[in-house]
Amino acid sequence: MSQSSAPSADKPFLRVLAGEAVWPPPVWLMRQAGRYLPEYLETRRTAGSFLDLCYNPELAVEVTLQPLRRYGFDAAILFSDILVIPHALGQDLAFRQGEGPVLDALKTEDDLAKLDVGRVLDHLRPVLETVGGLAKAIPDTTALIGFAGAPWTVATYMIEGGGSKDFAKTKAWAYGRPDLFERLIDTLVQATGDYLIAQIDAGAEAVQIFDTWAGALPEADFRRWVVAPIGRLTRRIQTERPGIPVIGFPRGAGLLYPDFVRDTGVTAVSLDTSLPCGWAAEAIQPLAVTQGNLDPIHVVVGGAALDAATDHVLKTLGGHRPHVFNLGHGIVPQTPPENVARLMDRVRNAPRPGSV
Ligand code: CP3
């Protein structure tokens, strides 16, 4: 059953998603669990491969909690990966050291027909078990975020067989065989919707949909392959699990961010690093709660430049409108952990904009 309830009064992250301007803003960081933490590397060594870690509820709970212990973030994000969906649909997947993900690329209509939505939740049972374990283990004031990749971004990995610079193969399907590509997107909307609802039922209090490669598409295709599928997912969650906030992350969407927000109906939107905060305050904050958008490289470099960049985000986006402090993309492995502590200090002790 759904565990949805009124936003807990003592979870600042959920209060902001419900539309309240909380000060100081709640903070969490995309990819907050991971290789920049020595304790993650240690757990990862005992787990075996990265995928073994994703499918080991006990260890996945542990690595999710590690950054909370150090920094007291306002939200925990389930430790998993966006590529468990293709894996659950039956596609071969491996993470090779230093190479990133490698998938057995979809090439033909037959490959598409083999994808099996029926086995997804069964395959992902360990991940749902991790969500359940986290719901019990996190502090009372911390919110639990579930997540999935957006259909477009996940489709790029499925068709390219891994990362890509130009998405040429995926675009060949999307532009040249939209009938086929639509079938893949429909499969992903179904599987991803089932998965997110199951995460909510296991205890996730909000969900984030990562569309990392949204910025690769021209306008008409952005509307068709980014906005429409995320809109379908959002409406399904709002209908079947009302009250659960949905955060969209259409990375690189630029001027199309406001249309993305309006046409998908997301509760909140994660702003990427390239988006000017002043523009976002005017064009996006009247439409939805915002999250973001410090450059992760500022956290690598640290020092006075990090302080100034943090203050800029706080001043332009925080204070009078509901905003969640975050990065504009995931934290990178070379980040010194002490710089994250410095950032947290700066956010937690920031004077409210407008107050003297
Ligand atoms: O802490 C968290 O944010 C939760 C965990 C999380 C991971 N991946 C763990 C991970 C989340 C939310 C993701 C999302 C994800 N995965 C995205 C979307 C967000 C983004 O960063 O753009 C994408 C595109 C992926 C796919 C993916 N996973 C790639 C391309 C790679 C290899 C590159 C890299 O960063 O290593 C991964 C691996 C991955 N996912 C790691 C982690 C901690 C590193 C694996 C390791 O420990 O060896």
- Residue ranges of the domains in the chain? 26-292
CATH code of domain 26-292: 3.20.20.210
DSSP H/E element including 148: strand 143-149
Q: Is the CB of 125 under 6 A from ligand 1?
A: no
Cβ partners under 8 Å of residue 60, min gap 6: 53, 54, 78, 79, 80, 126, 127, 130
Measured in angstroms, how far is the CA atom of residue 239 from the centroid of ligand 1?
29
Gap between the terminal Cα atoms of the chain: 47
Out of 74, 81, 194, 295, pick the active-site residue: 81
Other residues' Cβ atoms within 10 Å of the Cβ of residue 93:
19
Distance 319 CA to ligand 1 centre (A): 31
Whole-angstrom distance, CA of residue 244 vs CA of residue 225: 24
Predicted pLDDT of residue 355: 62
Task: Give the nearest ligand 1 atom to 163 CA.
Answer: 30
Structure confidence at residue 98 (pLDDT): 79
pLDDT reported for residue 354 = 74
Per-residue confidence (pLDDT) for residue 6, from 0 to 100: 54
Q: Cα separation of 9 and 51, whole Å?
A: 36
Tokens of 82: 């966006």
Largest CA distance in the chain: 65
Q: Does pTM surpass 0.90?
A: yes
Q: Is 79 in the pocket of ligand 1 (CB under 6 A)?
A: yes
Beta bridge partners of 75: 143
Which portions of the chain are predicted below pLDDT 50? 1-4, 356
- Cα(251) to centroid of ligand 1, in Å? 15
Look at the block and give the residue holding tokens 């073994």.
52
- What pLDDT score does 16 carry? 98
Cross-sheet strand order for the sheet of 289-294 = 75-77, 143-149, 206-211, 246-250, 268-270, 289-294, 323-327
Residue 128 near residue 189 (C-beta atoms within 8 A): no
The answer to whether 35 is a known catalytic residue is yes
